[in-house]
Amino acid sequence: MEEKQYSFIDWTFSAEDAAHLLSTLYNAKLEYHNRQALIKHEGQKSIPADELKRIAELENALKKIREEINLAKEKNTKLHIKSSISLNFIPK
């Protein structure tokens, strides 16, 4: 089936609002991955490396985004954020 695209964010924000929005989204995604990892691997000694890698990627992305937002604050500029959601049907 064909990939479906949906606009998620397409707006210009103050640096403060961008920080709040993106921190909220990334923290929700991190919380989801952490919770899923704990639920799926409860009773095991460790979480698989690929799941830990994804969590680390999200944490690193959030760190870099915060650096960009701080730069926008220093320059007294706004930030345009554009994001979309892609949906694909994957056979089981």
Q: For the segment 45-92, what is each residue's pLDDT rounded down to a tens digit?
A: 787 888 889 999 999 999 999 999 999 999 999 999 999 999 999 999
CA 5 to chain centre: 18
Tell me if 24 is assigned to some domain: yes
- Residue 47: the pLDDT is 79
Residue appearing with tokens 């989801």: 32
Tell me if 68 is assigned to some domain: yes
Give the Cα separation of 16 and 69 in Å (integer): 8
Tell me if 92 is assigned to some domain: no
- Residue 58: the pLDDT is 96
The most distant pair of C-alpha atoms in the chain lies apart, rounded to whole Å, by 49
How many structural domains are present in the chain? Answer: 1
- Residue 49: the pLDDT is 87
Give the Cα separation of 45 and 25 in Å (integer): 29
Tell me if 42 is assigned to some domain: yes
Give the Cα separation of 83 and 64 in Å (integer): 17
Kindly report, residue by residue over 16-53, the tens digit of the pLDDT: 999 999 999 999 999 999 898 888 877 777 878 888 89
Q: Which domain holds residue 82?
A: 4-87
